[in-house]
Amino acid sequence: MDLNFTDEQKAFRAEVRSFLEQKLPKRLSDKVRLGQRLTKDDYEEWHAILNERGWLAGNWPKEHGGAGWNAVERHIFEEETTAAHAPRIVPFGLAMLGPVLQKFGSKEQQEYWLPRILNGDDWWCQGYSEPGAGSDLASVKTTAVRDGDHYVVNGQKTWTTLGQHANMIFCLVRTSKEGKPQEGISFLLVDMNDPGVTVRPIVLIDGEAEVNEVFFDNVRVPAENLVGEENKGWTYAKYLLTHERTNIAGVGFANAGLANLKRIASLEQSNGRPLIEDPLFAAQIAEVEIALMAMATTNLRVVSAAAAGQAPGAESSMLKIKGTVLRQEINALTKQAVGPYAMPFVSEALEAGSNVGPVGPDYAMSATPHYLNNRKLSIYGGSNEVQKTIIAKAILEL
Amino acid sequence: MNFQLTEERQMLQDGLRRFLADAVTPQALKAAEETGSSPEIWAGLAEMGVAGALFTEEQGGFGGMGFDLMTVFEELGRAGATEPLLEILLAGGLIAELGDAAQQALVEQAAEGGLQLALAHGEPASRFDLERVETRAVKAGEAWTLSGRKSVVVNGAQADRIVVSARTAGEVGDRDGISLFLLPKGTAGVEIRDYPLSQGGRAAELVLENVELPADALLGEEGRALDAIETAQARGTAALCADALGAMETARALTGDYLKTRKQFGQPIGKFQALQHRAAEMLIEIEQARSAVINLCGHLEADRATREIHVSATKHLVGKAARLVAEESIQMHGGIGVTEEYDLGRFARRLSMLDQRFGDATYHLGRFVRLKAA
C-alpha cells in the first residue's frame, strides 16, 4: 500500500501543469470557470492545441496517434485540466468511437476515420437512445436493411448531445429481429449530410439546446460503414461501456466544483459573516468533501487495477452513482450558496461576449442552469437505477 | 379539531382550480414571462376577486387569515401560474397594516386587480437577513432623499407602487431605524434593470440615486418598520410554501401518470419496486409538507415567537421536500423530465427556486435552533 504517486507520475503532472499554464487560452478557461457556454469553435480550438502536443487522445495507443497513457496518467491529466478550467474533451469521437474502431474496425476504417477524429475533420455524435429505448437500450427500433452495397436506415434517435455540431453519427441499428433483442443490433456509421437525415434540437430546462433528436428517413449508408460484424453491435457498445469508464466518477469535475463552491461561500455574507463560517452550511460542504476524498481513492483503486490490465466490473457502476450524486450535491450547494441571485435567469449573460452582463455577482449566473442541467448526470450513460441493478446482479448472482 | 376548509374557502378553491386549469396555457405563460403577468389570467383573477382573499374585511378584503392564503397559493402552484399575487400580499399587507387612510385606498385598488405592487427590501449583500438594510433615507425639510440598491425585486419594473425599505437611523444590521416608503412608478432617480426569473415571472435590480420623495411617502412610523416587514414575510412564507405544495402535487401527479404509461423492459416502469418505493417516499414527504403548511397557516396570527418558530420549521421542511420532489420527479421521468417541452420542467424549476426566497432550508434550520433556545 502506497498512497503516493511515483516520481515519473509526479513529473508527468508537472509537465501537464506547465503545458496548461502556457497553452490553455485564458479566454477559454474564463468561460469554463464562469460556466458560460462553449461554442463549436471553442472546442475545436482546444482540441487542436492538445492534438499539436499529441495529448488529444490520451487513451489511444501510440500506433493510432494517441498518447498511449495508462489509466493513472489519464487520471492525472484529467485532474490537472479540470483544475485549470480547461474545456472538456468532447468524448464522442475520441473516447467512444475511437476505441471501438481500434478494437473492432477494419484496417481501412481505422486508417480513414482515426486521423480524421484527431484532426477534427469530423465531429461525431452518438446515436444510441431512442424514444422507446432509454434504460432499455436493447429495444432499439431504428432499422438498417441491406440493399445491394448499402444499408437503408429508418427510425429516430434522441438525446444526441451536441448533435447540432456533428457531421457524423455512430448508431446502434436493428439489422435482425431474430433471437434476443441484443442479438439483432449492428454498429453503423452514418453521414449526417446524407439525404434523409434531420436534426431537431431539444430545449432543456436550463434554456439550452445541447441535445437533439435525429431522424432517419430512407437514408442510404454504404455497407463499408458497418463496424465489425452484422448483429454484433451490442457487444461493441458494451465493450465501450466497460472499458472506457475509468473517468466515469468525474473526480476532476467534482474537485473543481467543490473549489468553486468554497470560493463562493467565502464571498457570500450571511448574518454579517462569510457564509462558509456558518456551521450548518460548512457542515454540508464538509460532508461532500469527506465523501469526495474517499471516492477519489476508490477511483484511484479502480484506475490502478485498470492500469494493471484488469477490466473494471461493478466498480464502474459504483463510481458512476457516487460520482454523479456528489456532483449533483455540489451543484445544489452552489445554488444554495448564491442565495437570491440564483433566481435571475439571464440566458444572454451565459454567452461570452454578449453585451448583457450577469445580474448580481458573475459567479451566480450559472448556478441554477448547472444545477438543472446536471440532473442529467444520474440519468444518462445508464441511469443510476440501471447501475444499481448491475451491481445487485453482480453481488447477488441471482 | 377540523381539517376541512370552510364552505367559502372550498368554493374559492374549486373556482380557482377550474379557472387556472384552463387559463394557464403556454401562450399565457409566455406573456407572463415577457411582461410579468398575463393580461387574461390577471383579469380573470380580478373578476373572481382572488386578491380580496388575501385581506381582512377591515382592510377591504374578505379573508386575510392563514388558511385563506393557503387556499389561494396552493392553487397557483398547482397550476404553475406565475402571476405576481404574492407581491400584492407582501406590499399590500404592509400598506394595509401601516398606511394612513389615503395609502390604504391603494390596497382596495390592488385587491380589485387595478394596481400592481412590489416590495423592495432585499439588497445585494443582505441575503436572507431582514435587518441588513444599507439603503439610506435622509429627511431634508419636507422631503425624503433615498439612495441605495435593492436586489431581486419581484415585479419591480411592472409595479405601479413599490414599497421600499431604507435606513433612517442606526447601523447596518440594527433592527431599529428601518423605515418604509411608497415609491410610485417612474420616479426620477430610480434605475431599473428588469429580467426574467427561473421560476417564471420577472424581477428587477433597483438603483436609487438621490431619489426624492414627499413627506407623505413614508409608510407607518419612522424607523420602526422591521416588525411589520417580518410579519409580511411570515405571511409571504406561508403563501410561498403553499404554492410549493401545489406544485409538488402536480409533479407527483405527472410522475404517477408517467410511471403507469412509460414502458421499458416490456412493462410499465411503475411495476419496478425500486421506483414504487421512491414514489411512496415522495408522497410521504408531500404529506409532511402539507401538515407543515397547515401548521404555519394556523399560527400566522399567533404571538411573534410562536409564529416565527413555525415560519422556520415550515420553510425548512417544505424546502427539503420541494427539492426531493423536484429531483425525484425528474429522475423517475428520465431524459424527458429535463426538457422544456414537457410540463414537469416548469414545476421542477419553480420548486428548485423555493429555497432562494425568504431563506433556504439550512438557513431556517439554524434559525429554528436559535428561536427555540431563546
Strands A269-270 and A273-274: antiparallel
Residue A44 Ramachandran class (φ > 0 left, ψ -120 to 50 alpha, else beta): alpha
- Residue A256 inside a domain? The answer is yes
- Residue A108 inside a domain? The answer is no
Selecting from B193, B198, B362 the residue whose C-beta is nearest the C-beta of A368 gives B198
* Of B96, B104, B138, B321, residue with least CA distance to B223: B138
Do residue A227 and residue A249 come from a single domain? no
Query: Residue A316 and residue A391: Cα distance in Å, rounded?
Result: 9
Q: Among A173, A204, A232, which residue terminates a domain?
A: A232
- Residue A314 inside a domain? The answer is yes
- Residue B2 inside a domain? The answer is no
Runs of H (alpha helix) within B99-222: 101-111
Do residue B162 and residue B135 come from a single domain? yes
What 3-state class would DSSP assign to B184?
Answer: strand
Selecting from B128, B151, B345 the residue whose C-beta is nearest the C-beta of A205 gives B345
- Residue A17 inside a domain? The answer is yes
What 3-state class would DSSP assign to B271?
Answer: helix
Do residue B139 and residue B73 come from a single domain? no
Helix or strand holding residue B14 (H, E): helix B7-23
CB atoms within 10 A of CB B256: 16
Phi and psi of A381, rounded to 5°? 60, 35
Do residue B109 and residue B204 come from a single domain? no
Banded model confidence at residue B93, pLDDT cuts 50, 70, 90: very high
Residue type, A87: P
Mean per-residue pLDDT of chain B: 96
Residues of B with Cβ-Cβ distance to A158 under 8 angstroms:
335
- Taking only the tens place, the pLDDT of each residue in B323-360 is 999 999 999 999 999 999 999 999 999 999 999 999 99
- Residue B1 inside a domain? The answer is no
Suggest the residue from A130, A156, A261, A270 to mutate for an interface test with chain B (most B CBs closer than 10 A). A270
- Taking only the tens place, the pLDDT of each residue in A262-288 is 999 999 999 889 999 999 999 999 999
Do residue B279 and residue B200 come from a single domain? no
For chain A, positions 6-35, list CB contacts with chain B under 8 A: none
Q: What is the mean pLDDT of residues A73-95?
A: 94
Do residue A253 and residue A206 come from a single domain? no
User: What confidence score (pLDDT) does residue A230 get?
Assistant: 97
Q: What is the mean pLDDT of residues A24-41?
A: 95
- Residue A139 inside a domain? The answer is yes
Residues of B with Cβ-Cβ distance to A272 under 8 angstroms:
129, 132, 173
Banded model confidence at residue A240, pLDDT cuts 50, 70, 90: confident
Q: Among A202, A232, A262, which residue terminates a domain?
A: A232
What dihedral do alpha carbons B213, B214, B217, B220 form, nearest 10°? 120
Q: Are A62 and A68 in contact (CB under 8 A)?
A: yes
User: What confidence score (pLDDT) does residue A72 get?
Assistant: 86
For chain B, positions 312-341, list CB contacts with chain A under 8 A: 323, 327, 330-331, 334-335, 337-341
Instruction: Tell whether A378 is within 8 A of chain B (Cβ).
Output: yes
Indicate the number of domains in chain A.
3
- Residue A117 inside a domain? The answer is no
Residue B157: Cβ-neighbour burial (10 angstroms; 0-12, 13-18, 19+): buried
Do residue B335 and residue B369 come from a single domain? yes
Do residue A263 and residue A370 come from a single domain? yes
Query: Residue B363 and residue B312: Cα distance in Å, rounded?
Result: 8
- Residue B37 inside a domain? The answer is yes
A351 included as an active-site residue? no
Banded model confidence at residue A244, pLDDT cuts 50, 70, 90: low
Instruction: Tell whether B64 is within 8 A of chain A (Cβ).
Output: no
Do residue B246 and residue B360 come from a single domain? yes
Do residue B155 and residue B217 come from a single domain? yes
The 3-class secondary structure across chain A, one letter per residue, is CCCCCCHHHHHHHHHHHHHHHHHCCHHHHHHHHHCCCCCHHHHHHHHHHHHHHCCCCCCCCHHHCCCCCCHHHHHHHHHHHHHCCCCCCCHHHHHHHHHHHHHHCCHHHHHHHHHHHHHCCCCEEEECCECCECCCHHHCCCEEEEECCEEEEEEEECCCCCHHHCCEEEEEEECCCCCCHHHHEEEEEEECCCCCEEEEEECECCCCCCEEEEEEEEEEEEHHHEECCCCCHHHHHHHHHHHCCCCCCCHHHHHHHHHHHHHHHHHCEECCEEHHHCHHHHHHHHHHHHHHHHHHHHHHHHHHHHHCCCCCCHHHHHHHHHHHHHHHHHHHHHHHHHHHHHCECCHHHHCCCCCCCCCCCHHHCCHHHHHHHHHHHHCCCCCHHHHHHHHHHHHHCC
Do residue A390 and residue A249 come from a single domain? yes
CA distance A251 to chain B (A): 22
Do residue A390 and residue A326 come from a single domain? yes
- Residue A313 inside a domain? The answer is yes
What 3-state class would DSSP assign to B182?
Answer: strand
Q: What is the mean pLDDT of residues A53-59?
A: 95
Residues of A with Cβ-Cβ distance to B203 under 8 angstroms:
343-344
Query: Residue B128 and residue B361: Cα distance in Å, rounded?
Result: 12
Selecting from B197, B340, B345 the residue whose C-beta is nearest the C-beta of A345 gives B197
Residues of B with Cβ-Cβ distance to A372 under 8 angstroms:
198, 338, 348-349, 352
Do residue B102 and residue B131 come from a single domain? no
Selecting from A136, A203, A281 the residue whose C-beta is nearest the C-beta of B264 gives A136
Residue type, A137: L
Q: Among B201, B223, B245, which residue terminates a domain?
A: B223
Cell 457516487 sits on residue: A322
User: CATH code at A17?
Assistant: 1.10.540.10
The yes-or-no verdict on residue A313 having pLDDT over 80 is no
Q: What is the mean pLDDT of residues A169-187?
A: 95
User: CATH code at A292?
Assistant: 1.20.140.10
Q: What is the mean pLDDT of residues A366-370?
A: 96
Query: Residue A354 and residue B163: Cα distance in Å, rounded?
Result: 33
Residue type, A218: N
Mean per-residue pLDDT of chain A: 94
Query: Residue A363 and residue A244: Cα distance in Å, rounded?
Result: 33
Percent of chain A residues past pLDDT 90, beyond the cut = 83
Do residue A249 and residue A222 come from a single domain? no
Q: Are B36 and B155 in contact (CB under 8 A)?
A: yes
**HSE-CB for B253 with a 13 A CA cutoff:** 10
The yes-or-no verdict on residue A198 having pLDDT over 70 is yes
Do residue A184 and residue A265 come from a single domain? no
Q: Among A211, A232, A253, which residue terminates a domain?
A: A232
Contacts of residue A309, defined as CB under 8 A and 6 or more positions apart, other chains included, come to: none
Q: What is the mean pLDDT of residues A154-176?
A: 97
ipTM of predicted complex: 0.96
Instruction: Tell whether A379 is within 8 A of chain B (Cβ).
Output: yes
Query: Residue A158 and residue B351: Cα distance in Å, rounded?
Result: 27
Banded model confidence at residue A21, pLDDT cuts 50, 70, 90: very high
- Residue B42 inside a domain? The answer is yes
Query: Residue A250 and residue A298: Cα distance in Å, rounded?
Result: 12
> Which residues face B311 on adjacent strands?
none
DSSP state of B358: S
Which residue among the candidates A79, A244, A315, A329 is catalytic per the annotation?
A: A244
- Residue B88 inside a domain? The answer is yes
Selecting from A139, A270, A375 the residue whose C-beta is nearest the C-beta of B338 gives A375
The yes-or-no verdict on residue A346 having pLDDT over 80 is yes
What dihedral do alpha carbons A338, A342, A344, A350 form, nearest 10°? 90
* Of A28, A33, A68, residue with least CA distance to A49: A28
Query: Residue A250 and residue B255: Cα distance in Å, rounded?
Result: 29
The yes-or-no verdict on residue B134 having pLDDT over 90 is yes
Q: Among B69, B88, B116, which residue terminates a domain?
A: B116
Cell 383573477 sits on residue: B45
Query: Residue B156 and residue B192: Cα distance in Å, rounded?
Result: 8
- Angle (nearest 5°) at CA B353 between B351 and B357: 125
Do residue A261 and residue A214 come from a single domain? no
Q: What is the mean pLDDT of residues A24-47?
A: 96
User: What confidence score (pLDDT) does residue B299 get?
Assistant: 97
User: What confidence score (pLDDT) does residue B253 get?
Assistant: 98
- Residue A197 inside a domain? The answer is yes
- Residue B22 inside a domain? The answer is yes
User: What confidence score (pLDDT) does residue A243 get?
Assistant: 62
CB atoms within 10 A of CB A191: 15
Domain span including residue B197: 118-223
Instruction: Tell whether A339 is within 8 A of chain B (Cβ).
Output: yes
Do residue B253 and residue B267 come from a single domain? yes
Query: Residue A271 and residue A261: Cα distance in Å, rounded?
Result: 19
Tell me the helix, strand and coil percentages in chain B, rounded to 5.
55, 15, 25
Domain span including residue A319: 245-396
User: What confidence score (pLDDT) does residue A246 get?
Assistant: 60
Global confidence as pTM: 0.95
Do residue A213 and residue A303 come from a single domain? no
Suggest the residue from A205, A212, A335 to mutate for an interface test with chain B (most B CBs closer than 10 A). A205
User: CATH code at B12?
Assistant: 1.10.540.10
Do residue B205 and residue B242 come from a single domain? no
Query: Residue A34 and residue B360: Cα distance in Å, rounded?
Result: 24
User: CATH code at A220?
Assistant: 2.40.110.10
Q: Among B192, B223, B254, which residue terminates a domain?
A: B223
- Residue B246 inside a domain? The answer is yes
All three cell numbers of A370, joined, read 448547472
CB atoms within 10 A of CB B24: 22
Q: At what angle do helices B304-333 and B361-373 cross, to 10 degrees?
A: 150
The yes-or-no verdict on residue A242 having pLDDT over 80 is no
The yes-or-no verdict on residue A245 having pLDDT over 70 is no
Strands B161-167 and B117-120: parallel
Instruction: Tell whether A371 is within 8 A of chain B (Cβ).
Output: yes
For chain B, positions 250-279, list CB contacts with chain A under 8 A: 263-265, 272, 274-275
Q: What is the mean pLDDT of residues B88-108?
A: 96
Alpha-carbon distance values, B96 to B42, B62, B106, B220, B362 (Å): 21, 14, 9, 10, 32
User: CATH code at B275?
Assistant: 1.20.140.10
Do residue A225 and residue A249 come from a single domain? no
Do residue A390 and residue A275 come from a single domain? yes
- Residue B110 inside a domain? The answer is yes
- Taking only the tens place, the pLDDT of each residue in B44-74 is 999 999 999 999 998 989 999 999 999 999 9
The yes-or-no verdict on residue B132 having pLDDT over 90 is yes
User: CATH code at B185?
Assistant: 2.40.110.10
Do residue B279 and residue B213 come from a single domain? no
Do residue B142 and residue B97 come from a single domain? no
Q: How many contacts (CB atoms, under 8 Å) link A and B? A: 139
Q: Are A141 and A130 in contact (CB under 8 A)?
A: yes
CA distance A135 to chain B (A): 7
Do residue A177 and residue A296 come from a single domain? no
Helix or strand holding residue B219 (H, E): strand B218-219
Residue type, B31: A
Indicate the number of domains in chain B.
3
**Where is pLDDT greater, at A347 or B304?**
B304
User: What confidence score (pLDDT) does residue A64 get?
Assistant: 96
